[in-house]
Structure 1
């Protein structure tokens, strides 16, 4: 029997990469910078792809390219194809155990290290990359397929929820806290000697200076939603990007802070810091696992999932 030659697709990975970059950046000039190609090469690749598909992918509005209705489904497929091609290209690295893990700040600094130790116990040759930033920055990296899996503190708010998978992971509690002999707590609230904590009313807390994390962090999200909404006139004197900085500033008695119990546990035990309970306020929160649906779930990916969900 005579075998006829199969027709190979004429769409190239370069065309798909150009299309994805334009879709994400909104212009050929920015896409050319991201891909390190000339703008004419980018424009040409886009035109060739539209010609092959026989459909427009963008509508030209001035210098900006707005996605056509056809673009969204093509974008999803193009991302999956590019990811699969990267997986094929780096096949041996993945087999050796390569994984890119993202974590929001508190998890990355205080919870992730022992989990990674368990991963290395299971897979001594694991090749692990870790990216630590605030929740929104980490979720953005997941969307760009730069991270295999992320562990974040705030509710994930991806730009496109259809391509992001998220699963509740753990429960954590934020604590309002102060220096143990803080001047701000003198003659305020009730001191519970047995539990080494102060109890304040919402009105009392609103009169005190607060140091909080920056907008975009998971900790700040909970503070906004579950604390500051009850304190419309709270004296938030500073928004700070690092939890350690907040802890040190509270230790210097600049004001009160609000961070995860994991961040201040050592200082609470050493009696350097004291918890401040606010009557009627619940600061518990859920931590989340986040990954891109198109991301290759390698054996090490599954091993890491098994470790963090059993722990």
Structure 2
């Protein structure tokens, strides 16, 4: 016959956990010497203070105070507990302050063109709206910024080309503006001497006379190009919408900085292709000239991206509100 256990041993009941409230009450009683003063300091009833103190003594299995007249005198070993309780409460307060600091902090990533030419105005407006905001900015090419978002190194980012994350499930993205790339050269460039002057016209956009050339894809393909490096949002669009439509085109140089490309084109080393935001002033002044190709559309979308696990603080939401709704 099977053995029958008539009195199985039951596991002991777990003791109740120590709470922060109990520690805070203990500290207050230790400092004031009475439950009545502690209740006033903590905005609690005296019975609630006494009950919490009793529960803490029960959990520690030791008395913490001796009543001497109207005062509660701590036992000798309560002093060590007081120091530990103060340290724990201090750490909790530090965590709360850290959270408050994080609520006023935002780490913004931006690809190069946006970071250098568009983001400053957005940051200035956000700083006026939230003067105490702690704003950290990271500027790199699109590929690098997408990686920063994936690794939660930045809270939100603005990039110039369609993001290609390594894990599409962790990245949220939204179109927020449309930009246009412009092919350009130095005014009176030697590379344009082969084309008749009647191909040149004046575009009086914005009240300024901007010189421009109108070339066919074949004519444009004969010019030497200086372009952004692989991994940049600008280069992605140049590859997709420009270079693959120019048979036999020659890229003579890849450069990681738009400003450097502008300088090289101004030195007549070759022609370039950058965002309209980068060369707008030089086109207006006449230092650079636009090269239009009717058959090619060099518009692109700018993307707002963030990690789905990113904490969307109030400042994060204010930043979103600041840039969403901008003219596309």
Superposition TM-score, scaled by structure 2 size: 0.67
Paired residue for 2:200, among 191, 210, 220? 191
Q: Does 1:251 align with 2:266?
A: yes
CA RMSD of superposed structures (Å): 1.8
What's 2:317 paired with?
A: 302
CA deviation after TM superposition for structure 1 residue 88, in Å = 7.2
Deviations 1:64-88 (A, max 9, x none): xxxxxxxxxxxxxxxxxxxxxxx97
Which one of the candidate residues 149, 153, 156 is aligned to 1:146?
153
Aligned equivalents of 1:5, 1:185: Cα separation in 2: 87
The DSSP-based 3-state class of the residue aligned with 2:131 is coil
Cα 1:183/1:149, change in 2 over 3 Å: same
> In the comparison of the two structures, how many residue pairs are matched?
229
CA contact (8 A) 2:222 2:250 kept: yes
Q: Give yes or no for the alignment of 1:230 onto 2:236.
A: no
Q: How does 1:30-179 map to 2 (within 5 A)?
A: 90-95=98-103, 97-179=104-186
CA–CA separation in structure 1 for the residues paired with 2:219 and 2:325? 41
Once the two structures are superposed, residues 13-44 of structure 1 have per-residue CA deviations (whole angstroms, 9 ceiling, x without a partner) of xxxxxxxxxxxxxxxxxxxxxxxxxxxxxxxx
Distance in 1 separating the partners of 2:290 and 2:222:
17
The answer for unaligned runs of 5 or more in structure 1 is: 8-86
Distance (whole Å) between structure 1 residues aligned to residue 98 and residue 164 of structure 2 = 30
Q: Is the 8 A contact 2:176 2:325 kept in 1?
A: no
The runs of 5 or more residues in structure 2 that have no matched partner are 1-12, 18-94, 205-210
Question: Could you list the per-position Cα deviations for residues 243-297 of structure 1 after superposition, in whole angstroms to 9, with x for gaps in the alignment?
Answer: 0000000000000000000000000010000000013010000000000000000
Q: Quick check: which has more Rg, 1 or 2?
A: 2
Q: Kindly provide the CA deviation profile for residues 190-226 of structure 1, in whole angstroms up to 9, marking residues without a partner as x.
A: 1113452101111111111000000000000000000
Separation of aligned partners in 2, 1:6 and 1:254: 78
**Distance in 2 (alpha carbons) for counterparts of 1:194 and 1:107:** 26
SS for the counterpart of 2:319 is helix
With over 3 angstroms needed to count, the CA separation of the structure-2 counterparts of 1:242 and 1:88, relative to structure 1, is: farther
* Cross-structure match for 1:289: 304
Change (3 A) 1:194 1:291: closer
Q: Is the 8 A contact 2:184 2:271 kept in 1?
A: yes
Which runs of 4 or more aligned residues in structure 1 lie more than 6 Å from their structure 2 counterparts after TM superposition? none
Structure 1 CA distance, aligned partners of 2:249 and 2:217?
A: 9
CA positional deviation for 1:93: 1.1
